[in-house]
Each structure stands twice: as structure tokens, then as C-alpha cells.
Amino acid sequence: MEFSFLDNKLYNINEKVISEKRLDFKDGLALYKSNDLIGVGRIADYVRRKRHNNKAYYVYNQHINYTNICTNHCLFCAYARNNGEKDAFTFSLEDVKAQLLERIDEPVRELHIVGGLNPSLPFQYYLDLIKTVKKIRPEATIKAFTAVEINHIAKISNLSIDETIAELKNAGLSMVPGGGAEVMSSRIRNKLFPRKIDSAKWLEIMESLHSAGITSNATMLYGHIETIEERVQHLMKLRELQDKTKGFSAFIPLAFHSKNTKLPHIPPTTAFDDLKNISAARLMLDNFDHIKAYWVMIGEKLAQTALSFGADDLDGTIIEEKITHMAGAKSAKGLSHEQIKRLISSAGFIPVERDSFYNSVET
Ligand code: V47
Ligand code: SF4
């Protein structure tokens, strides 16, 4: 398709995209550095429509954050607490059951379950947590535990990563969320999350999951101290693993929220940067099917707009998001079926309710 661009560098990138040539590091930088947001967005929209036409996906899901006690102390996190702090919590299996039963009349198809690294929880807790959820919601997909948690679970169980994954899968785990990757750069890790697993470990765990037949998502936390170069490198590392395993389902850029964190001076991301991240990801991650505009982080209105800038998925109804709201997010805590469908259809797309694996479902 012939586009006209304000930024001359985009002509070459557009040519490459149309002729299905892979974009390189320099192209990634050019996309991020371009002020022609509409131009970048149009190329991303071309790819998005080629893959998904005018469909936009969402899932009816529920988040369960089973504990906020965490020993990692990432500087960007407003969610974690030390054991004994007044608002520290850990759910018993009975608490989890009660949360699920509260919504049992709703057609929840995916349970997104993540928490902090709480040293007082034994290995058996994680297995029982999955089994409990599976018993109450046998038809829903359990998407649980980031690579960071899986590494922790392996340590406390004295099992290898592969053995830990096999145990979790056996208990009912079907998918793994994309958190914990942050930005894959040792410079940033040293400054912001030195206790968290490094990028090599995160990628290794993702590879093990994919070999075990468990799909996962991938994320990038942006809008803090990272450079454009580090963002592009991050995307290229994900692309490289995806070439090898084909196990990633969606990529989700996560906009940093600084309130109540150790980095309160960092201003919020701008709409321009949020959309640019969606478009750059769509173009650099040519082997990812899905790019999510996570409305919790960027707000419902911008997530809707992002559907025309490369995104094809709004994540879901969610119900009670905690991690971003504790860091000051102003978005709703959940959206109804009708609200999410309206966001999609009023942007000119066809809402497709999906399961965790992007099969369309009818409610
Ligand atoms: O790993 C923590 C990030 C992640 C903040 O896979 C923050 O479908 C912004 O991974 N500001 C958890 N972000 C969320 C996550 C996720 C969300 C939705 C869908 C999926 C999926 C995955 O949130 C953490 C961390 O990278 N995070 N603190 C903050 N202050
Ligand atoms: Fe713990 Fe995750 Fe928060 Fe880091 S981001 S402190 S690992 S809960």
C-alpha cells in the first residue's frame, strides 16, 4: 500500500514491511525516534489488518493476586510488602475459593494468578492453589505464575525448572503470563531490580515452558530509565526466542506508573509514547500473533485508540486489578462485557470474545 510519510526514514521501513523483510536494530531505533506517529501507526496497522483484519479480541477474565509479600524489592513496584507490614496479605486456599465463588455466575474463561515471592509459602501451596481453582472453575484456563515465581517455586521445591514446570502442568497450569521480563538489560536490572532473575534466566524459563507445551506471554516495562536502544534490544531478544520456540502468544507493553514506588519522581508515560510502543512492537515482533493494549495501564480510551496503531487485543474484563492501581493507575478496576465490546465496536472493529488461546467463544 502507498502511504505518504512526514518522516523520510519511514519509506524504507514501509518497503521492508510490505515485502516481508525483517526489520533490524536500526529500523527499531528509527521507529522509536520518529515523530511521525501517524506514519509509524499506519505501517503497524497495515500489518495488524493483514493478520487479524478488523477483529479485536478480549477475554472474560479474573485476576487473583494471592500474596503481596515479596522479598525482591524491585524499585518500580508499589504492590509488594514485607511480612508483618499492616497491609501485607496472603490468601489461604479458602480465601481463593471465596473470591472465585463470589463471581461464579459470571462466564469467566481465564484466571490470571500472580503474586510476590513469599518465603513462608511451601511448594505444596502452589500446587494446591492451582488444583483448588481448577476444581471450582474446571472450564477456565489457569494462566499463572510469572517466570520469576516459577524460578522461586523451583528453588523451594529443590526441583529443576523442567521438573517444576511438569508438576505445575500436572496440577492444571495451562499458560504463563508475561510479567517479570521488565527490560532485558543488566544496566537496568542492577539499578531497579537486582534481586530478580536476570534476562538469561527469564528467557531460559520461557524456553522450558514452551518445550513443555505451555504457551506464555511476554512484556516490557517501559517509561522509567530505559533507553530506546534497550527497548529495541529487548524486543529483538523476544523475537529471537520466538523464532526458536513459537511459544509466545502475545506481547504486552507495560507503561510504568510511579506513585507509591521508590521512583516517584518519574513522570507518567505520554500517549505518544504509549502508542509508539504498541506500533514498534507490532513491527519489530513480526513473529508474534498478538499485541495487547493493556487498558489497565494506558487507560480505556488510549487502549481503544491503540487498536488502530497495531494492537489487536484489549486483554480482558479483569475484575479487581491491584498491581497497577497500587502504583496510581486511574483506569477502572474492571470492565463489563458491554463496556469492552463498546470500546472495540465504536473504534470500527469487530469484538471477538476469545479464550486464552485466541479461539473465539460465544457467551
Ligand atoms: O511483572 C510492576 C509490572 C507486571 C509496576 O501476560 C508495573 O497476559 C507498571 O505482567 N507500573 C505484572 N507496571 C503485570 C503483567 C501482565 C499484566 C496483564 C496481562 C499479562 C499477560 C501480564 O507489572 C510486573 C511488572 O513488570 N509492574 N510494577 C508499576 N509500578
Ligand atoms: Fe516482587 Fe514482582 Fe513487586 Fe518485584 S515486581 S517486588 S518481584 S511483586
Q: pLDDT tens digits for 265-275? A: 999 999 999 99
Q: What is the whole-number distance in angstroms between the Cα of residue 194 and the centre of ligand 1?
A: 17
Sheet holding 290-291, edge to edge: 61-65, 110-114, 141-144, 175-176, 215-222, 248-255, 290-291
So what's the pLDDT on residue 325?
A: 79
**What is the rounded CA–CA span in Å between residue 33 and residue 228?**
8
- Provide the pLDDT for residue 345: 97
Whole-number Å distance between alpha carbons of 161 and 169: 12
Dist CA 300 CA 292 (whole Å):
13
Are 322 and 65 within 8 A, CB to CB?
yes
Does position 262 have pLDDT exceeding 90, yes or no?
yes
Residue 121 in contact with ligand 2 by CB distance below 6 A: no
Q: What is the DSSP letter of 81?
A: B
| Tens digits of residue pLDDT in 4-60 | 999 999 999 999 999 999 999 999 999 999 999 999 999 999 999 999 999 999 999
Residue 322: per-residue pLDDT: 77
Report the 10 Å Cβ neighbour count for 346: 9
Ligand 2, atom nearest to 77 Cα = 3
Please tell me which residue, 39 or 337, carries the higher pLDDT value.
Answer: 39
Q: Domain boundaries in the chain? A: 55-353
**Average pLDDT along the chain:** 96
Look at residue 319 and tell me whether its pLDDT is greater than 80. no
- Residue 337 is predicted with a pLDDT of 87
Grade residue 280 by pLDDT with cuts at 50, 70 and 90: very high
Q: Does 243 or 325 have the greater pLDDT score?
A: 243
pLDDT in tens, 236-245: 999 999 999 9
- Predicted confidence (pLDDT) at residue 91 exceeds the cutoff of 70: yes
Strands 61-65 and 248-255: unpaired
DSSP class of residue 292 equals: B
Quote the ligand 2 centre to 3 CA distance (angstroms).
Answer: 43
CB 111 within 8 Å of CB 61: yes
Per-residue pLDDT of 100-116, as tens digits, reads 999 999 999 999 999 99
Contact, 111 vs 133, CB < 8 A? Answer: yes
User: In this structure, which CATH number among 3.40.309.10, 3.40.50.720, 3.20.20.70, 3.30.420.40 belongs to the domain 55-353?
Assistant: 3.20.20.70
**Would the CB of 178 count as within 6 Å of ligand 1?**
yes
The grid cell for 231 is 527497548
CB-based contacts of 261: which residues, under 8 Å, 6+ apart? Answer: 75, 76, 77, 78, 327
pLDDT at residue 161, rounded to an integer? 98
Q: Mean pLDDT across the stretch 91-104?
A: 96
Cell of 305: 485508540
pTM of the model: 0.97
| Residues 288, 220: Cα–Cα separation, whole Å | 14
Q: Which of 254, 313, 333 to mutate to test the pocket of ligand 1 (most atoms within 8 A of CB)?
A: 254
Q: What digits encode the pLDDT tens for the residues 179-217? A: 999 999 999 999 999 999 999 999 999 999 999 999 999
210 lines ligand 2 (CB under 6 A): no
Query: Sign of dihedral through CA atoms 26, 287, 293, 328?
Result: negative
Q: Is the CB of 78 under 6 A from ligand 1?
A: yes
Q: Which pLDDT belongs to residue 326?
A: 85
Instruction: Establish whether residue 202 lines the binding site of ligand 1, counting it when its CB lies within 6 angstroms of any ligand atom.
Output: no
Dist. CA 361–CA 363, nearest whole Å: 7
Report the DSSP pairing between strands 61-65 and 350-354: unpaired
DSSP assignment string, 26-77 = HHHHHHHH-S-HHHHHHHHHHHHHHHHTTEEEEE-EEEEE-B-B-S---TT-
Which grid cell sits at 317?
474484563
- Which residue's alpha carbon is at the smallest distance from atom 5 of ligand 2? 77
Cα-to-centroid distance, 305 and ligand 2 (Å) = 30
Average pLDDT for residues 346-353, to the nearest whole number? 97
Ligand 2 atom with the shortest distance to the CA of 115: 8
Would the CB of 335 count as within 6 Å of ligand 2? no
Q: Are 314 and 303 in contact (CB under 8 A)?
A: yes
**pLDDT above 90 (res 2):** no
Residue 334 has a pLDDT of 83
Distance 188 CA to ligand 2 centre (A): 15
Which pLDDT band holds residue 3 (cuts at 50, 70, 90)?
A: confident
Report angle CA 16, 21, 27 to the nearest 5 degrees: 60
The pLDDT value recorded for residue 96 is 97
Atom number, ligand 2, closest to the C-alpha of residue 146: 2
Is the separation of the CB atoms in 192 and 199 below 8 Å? no
> Mean per-residue pLDDT for 130-147?
97
- Which of 81, 145, 196 gets mutated to test ligand 2 (max ligand atoms within 8 A of its CB)? 196
- Atom nearest to 79 CA in ligand 1: 28
The answer to whether the CB of 148 is under 6 A from ligand 2 is yes
CA dist 90 and 244 (Å) reads 37
Residue 279: strand, helix, or coil? helix
Evaluate: CB of 317 within 6 angstroms of ligand 1: no
Residue range 285-303: mean pLDDT, rounded? 96
